[in-house]
Amino acid sequence: MENKSNHHNKNAKDGARDSQKGTFIVKVEFCQNNTWQGKITWAEENQSQRFRSALELLNLIDGAMAKTKEKASEEGNQEHSVS
């Protein structure tokens, strides 16, 4: 069983090299209707936004990471076109 765990961790680390990273500060202020409400701050961009559910929180993180990936892709394309 230990080998499966190590194999899984190795794959997670390998995949992390290919993806962009982000730092988020999440402040859960309330828990109503069986979900979280609060505020998330995207540390690298110094942007904050309120969320009304755990699903909305995950969507905000996903959107921020998509912007990060898009920005990195654009920067990569500019480097190649300058040559």
Q: Model pTM?
A: 0.68
Report d(CA 55, CA 50) in Å as an integer.
12
pLDDT in tens, the chain (83 residues): 444 444 444 444 444 445 678 999 999 999 999 999 999 999 999 999 999 999 999 999 999 999 988 888 888 777 666 55
- Contacts of residue 66, Cβ cutoff 8 Å, sequence gap at least 6: none
